[in-house]
Amino acid sequence: MISKRRKRIGVLTGGGDCPGLNAVIRAIVKTAINIYDYEVMGFLDGYMGLVYNRFTKLSLEDVSGLLDKGGTILGTTDSFDPFNMMVDVNGEKQKKDMSRHIVDNLNMHNIEGLIVIGGINTISTAYKFTQLGIKIIAIPKNIDNDIPGTDSSFGFYSALNTATKALDKLHSTAESHHRVMILEVMGRRAGWVALQAGIAGGADIILIPEIPYDINSVIRKILDRKKSGKNFSIICVSEGCRPKNDAIEDAGEEKGALNTLSNSISAKIAGEIEAITDLETRVTILGYLQRGGDPSVYDRILTTRLGVEAVNMAAQGNYNKMAGITNNQLSPVDLSEVAYKCKNVPVEGELVKIARNMGVGFGD
């Protein structure tokens, strides 16, 4: 008697790492095996694993104990484009489209559908693969929370906790030394982390990409606080914020945390504040600290919901969509509505208005 071949799905994690990647892998594997008796093939280091056919078959034992673990057991890469990758051709480095190679590898493994976990760049690449006939389900992962089609992407709230705790700690030293303290957080294109951490951590000034700032307005806010008896100020800065009349760099959602103190926007702001006011100003850049550590309770629940939903979508044949959540309800959205787009902070939205009501300045 010939046994029926088990259905097989693939999974990969792409882009920058963040808390919750292992948790979502766990949810996918447990649902696929326990509920649908699927086989799950994990491809290593994002799309690179698909090109070079690096994979591992995932079992229930492989995902045991992953719920609270940071990072990703599959590995990832944030600077790999299979449609335009550098290869060695007769001893010379040339750019080559390796996408058909990925299609062949997926067919060789009899992969029915591929679950892609990543941010805007990763999902946009996945959308291109749907044009080649690959069945895709995306799961939104992004610290910056700038993926459209979902209330939030996992990793965001864990990073938000880290940023808020940093602001809490900076308050005491700022007050003790009568200094201006600047905390720089992730957010090249969207200011969700700075905005919400700034509100939760009691920042006096919040600078985000959506609202170009005037350094004179920032300084007026600091001096007004000093006149009122507040001898310190806390500024929460998105790494992508820019002064007025200065172009905003669009480097993609997965290029965050690359700033150093010497080239950061926060260092520039600090230098201008000190030059004009002679107030001691110190800078803290959280950088990769926001990517590390265990996922928050919210992200553990969110990753579990999204992982289970992605496998359910695969079982239903509901491909070429992202497993999103709208108004806290699972709501798949077409990849075409997500790829190459960005969810920005609405400058007239509720959160900005709340912050302004609390006396927060935005440098405008």
**Residue 93: partners with Cβ closer than 8 Å, 6 or more residues away:** 86, 87
Is there a contact between 15 and 254 (Cβ–Cβ < 8 Å)? yes
**Measured CA angle at 315 (ends 1, 148), to 5 deg:** 155
- The CA R_g of the chain, rounded to the nearest whole Å, is 22
Q: CA 255, CA 162: separation in Å to the nearest integer?
A: 19
Tell me phi and psi for residue 41, to 5 degrees: -105, 120
Nearest CA to 85 among 123, 47, 115? 47
Known catalytic residues are 144
Nearest CA to 11 among 50, 64, 62? 50
The DSSP code sequence of 133-150 is T--EEEEEB-TT---TTS
* Token couple for 215: 């350094």
- Helix ranges (H only) for 109-182 are 120-130, 156-177
